[in-house]
Structure 1
Amino acid sequence: MSHRLFIGIRPPAHVREALIDTMEALEGARWQDDEQLHLTTRFVGEVEREAANDLAAALASIALPSFELELEGVSHFERKGMPTAIWARVRPAPELERLRAKIERACDLARLGGETRRFTPHITIARLNSHTGPIVDWLTRNSDLRATWRVDGFSLFESHLLASGAQYEVAMHYPLQDTALSTTF
């Protein structure tokens, strides 16, 4: 049996509420549900049970202190000149890059191959298609989106593709250490 996996960070309720507050006034957008809001740190894809278990074990060895992330505005992805998604920009942070490097190492240990796509830290707000209305007004109206949160862990998610869209389930959660608790003397 194969599992469709990705590794990500789930923002806390106040950040998800700020994102949900942007979800209006864009005809034809397929807004993400609260349960779908996350920052993907590494897409894994379809893997067999043994590789999934190897990955879960390798991720458990990651030890880092918790850190802060910040949303700063919105943007979009496009393909062939057509917008495909709108998203909240996550400000790049050295701590996020350290976490990503350790996650990449865990994927290597699980023999899953290296990531080939450029990382753009973001949280997808909506999927778009050719029936979506113009996005310029929405982007302008939400350009001042800001929220800050402390990342206290990351998760291995399983993605279930349903007729109604993707449904995400946390397979494993990996807490990060509170810096106050990780002090050594």
Structure 2
Amino acid sequence: MPHRLFVAIRPPEQIRDALIDTMEGLEGARWQGEDQLHLTLRFIGEAEAPLANDIAESLCTVRPAPFALSLKGVGHFERRGRPHSLWAGLSPSRNLLDLADRVEKACRRAGCTPETRRFAPHITIARLNSSTEPIGGWIANHGDLRSDPWPVDAFILYESHLGAGGSLYEPVVRYQLKSA
């Protein structure tokens, strides 16, 4: 049976709390649960056990130094001209881009097909559909979202389990970044 995998950074509790504080005032939005908040470094998708094991092993070689991230603003993604998700943005970080690049290379070494989408760092906070009210007011109210920097000292290989109530994310392996 295949495993549905992705690699992500889990924000600390105070950042998750700040994100949860934005989750109101938009009728029809499907807000993410606290346990779903993450910053995806690489979506892998369906992988049979041998490939999943190779990915987990290859990710052990990704060991940059810890670094800091901070929230900066909100936005949305569109599909066919319609908003489909709201996200919290991050301040630009060369270290984050380097980590995502190293994760991508590790996944390729393990046998994954190359990712063709450009890496766009964000934390999804809501899913939207045609019944969601217009998002302009919500974006205006939360556009100045900011946080103090928080330390990133690890990333996680997750397995996603799809269910009627949404996705459940199970941490499979936690990879510690090398200490300075």
CA contact (8 A) 1:37 1:124 kept: yes
Q: CA deviation at 1:59?
A: 0.4
Q: CA deviation at 1:100?
A: 1.1
Instruction: Give the secondary-structure state (helix, strand or coil) at the position aligned to 1:146.
Output: coil
Structure 2 matches for 1:4-153, cutoff 5 A? 4-147=4-147, 148-153=149-154
Question: Counterparts of 2:179 and 2:21 in 1: how far apart (Å)?
Answer: 30
- TM normalised by structure 2 equals 0.97
Question: Counterparts of 2:83 and 2:63 in 1: how far apart (Å)?
Answer: 38
Moved more, 170-179 or 133-142: 170-179
For structure 1, which runs of at least 5 residues remain unmatched after alignment?
Answer: 180-185
Question: Counterparts of 2:92 and 2:50 in 1: how far apart (Å)?
Answer: 33
Instruction: Give the secondary-structure state (helix, strand or coil) at the position aligned to 1:24.
Output: coil
Deviations for 1:93-151, whole angstroms, at most 9, x for unmatched residues?
11111111111111111110111011110000000000000111100100111112110
For structure 2, which runs of at least 5 residues remain unmatched after alignment?
Answer: none
CA contact (8 A) 1:154 1:175 kept: yes
Equivalent residues, number:
179
Deviations for 1:28-56, whole angstroms, at most 9, x for unmatched residues?
00000000000000000000000000000
CA contact (8 A) 1:91 1:121 kept: no
- TM normalised by structure 1 equals 0.95
Q: CA deviation at 1:70?
A: 1.3
